[in-house]
Structure 1
């Protein structure tokens, strides 16, 4: 029988490559940015390759991962969820905060392609990721709708719909996006829209300067997306992307 405080050791089986190199701007839940693509890169272990057999029969999978870059030194028993504007505390185990007793997360993503012969180890290409680049993967499991989906489940304090804001582009930004992503193969513009409409700013900035309040109009910020420094301004009409700079 397990004892309190018993230690279990796990080794990552791989990592996730994603467009998000900074934790600010990462969608807070999987699927919120459907154009956010990622690659689960597994270690080049023959047994891991064999373990993927028949996974291609599924459309979605769960990623069990480690919150390796949440910035905290210890876990917190209560947190202020950004969804509640930082105005109310809830228990951390009643949230999906990374500041947990064990910093383990779970994300459901779509399976787009599986490449067993990829150089350096098998790859699973996925969509709708909400993970920072380099996130360690402990396990993956197929998503099974009849077991994993509970349509009548209550969402508690997170039941309110997620606010989304209009995203517009200056002529200059449109030109820069076309130059950085000719033909739209990287879906750069679509990804900018999906990330920006969720207001990617840190929670403290959103509390200090709510996007819907006049005092915030005219404030300018920047965020990295796919190696680009996306500059935007808060306006009465929404977020206006006015510049897209190459960070390379």
Structure 2
């Protein structure tokens, strides 16, 4: 029996070097592209990749490339679940991945009806289940000897596995004369309003959280920790968050085929609240309800 040592590899396994911690825990409401909403989030690096020495020089760059995984991709999750249940060998796992391949997708930008090739899109349903985003590097924070990257403009949700980080280099990465196919310009934004009732709910939730935070700080050590930094970004509601919520909803996260439905309520989870909104006859989206979860 001969062993083929020069056979081409069909798979490449990459380590998870960190996780994205963000105010958005669900796909619904997440920006469809990076830098559409200046949403603040944090990348929590994992050992041994959280060593401060690995990031020396990165703070000289304003933006970074992030390679990440579509961990809420249901096809990917289904494949993993079935693979664990049936304990398939590597060959059979490869066949399952290939059999689930979608050669065409329906981009929301084209109304959700027109099909194009998956490699002409940024669809999450792609063979690698990998995403690639440019985000702004706000600052590098060292907490408890570990690296946290504070970023803004990410189109990733909470818990997204991070595969790699590289600096964005403007002279080679920015191509102002490039053609962008069906996505030649930024999507149109809708006007977003909020009812008086929803605004009162928002203010009351902030007041309740502030009281809880003061009590917790009095009972605990005020020294910064990784958990405190992440909890602040994931859970603590601020008045400025209302502008962020409006900016997210203005992108119109509703499925393309449901964008003509009047007075149908949709719910977006943001930090520790569920935000309900609906389309009015005027064509604007209105926030009608904000409740703590």
Aligned partners of 1:178 and 1:154: how far apart in 2?
45
Aligned residues: 237
Per-residue CA deviations over 1:84-121 (Å, capped at 9, x if unaligned) read 011211111111111111111111111111112x1373
Greater share of helix? 2
How far the C-alpha of 1:186 sits from its partner, in A, is 6.0
How far the C-alpha of 1:49 sits from its partner, in A, is 2.4
How far the C-alpha of 1:148 sits from its partner, in A, is 0.6
How far the C-alpha of 1:75 sits from its partner, in A, is 3.3
Aligned partners of 1:44 and 1:120 also within 8 Å: no
Does structure 1 residue 190 correspond to structure 2 residue 254? no
Does structure 1 residue 219 correspond to structure 2 residue 264? yes
- Cα RMSD after superposing both structures: 2.1
Per-residue CA deviations over 1:171-226 (Å, capped at 9, x if unaligned) read 1111122223469746220111111111112x3xx31x324xxxx22222211111
Does structure 1 residue 149 correspond to structure 2 residue 180? no
Higher CA-based Rg: 2
- Normalization by structure 2: what TM-score? 0.76
Aligned partners of 2:33 and 2:268: how far apart in 1?
18
**Please, which runs of 5 or more residues in structure 2 have no aligned partner?**
77-99, 211-236
Match of 1:232 among 277, 283, 292: 277
How far the C-alpha of 1:145 sits from its partner, in A, is 0.8
Instruction: Report the 3-state secondary structure (helix = DSSP H, G, I; strand = E; otherwise coil) of the residue aligned with 2:59.
Output: helix
**Cα distance change of structure 1 residues 21 and 47 upon mapping to structure 2, 3 Å threshold:** closer
1:17-96 → structure 2 map (5 Å cutoff): 17-34=21-38, 36-45=39-48, 48-73=51-76, 74-96=100-122
**Cα distance change of structure 1 residues 175 and 44 upon mapping to structure 2, 3 Å threshold:** same
1:178 matched to which residue of 2?
203
2:252 matched to which residue of 1?
199
Greater share of strand? 1
Per-residue CA deviations over 1:13-72 (Å, capped at 9, x if unaligned) read 1111011111111100111111x1110110132774211001111111111111111112
**Runs of 4 or more consecutive aligned structure 1 residues displaced over 3 Å after TM superposition:** 1-5, 181-186
Aligned partners of 2:188 and 2:251 also within 8 Å: yes
Match of 2:290 among 238, 244, 247: 244
**Please, which runs of 5 or more residues in structure 1 have no aligned partner?**
none
Aligned partners of 2:17 and 2:49 also within 8 Å: no
Aligned partners of 1:24 and 1:178: how far apart in 2?
24
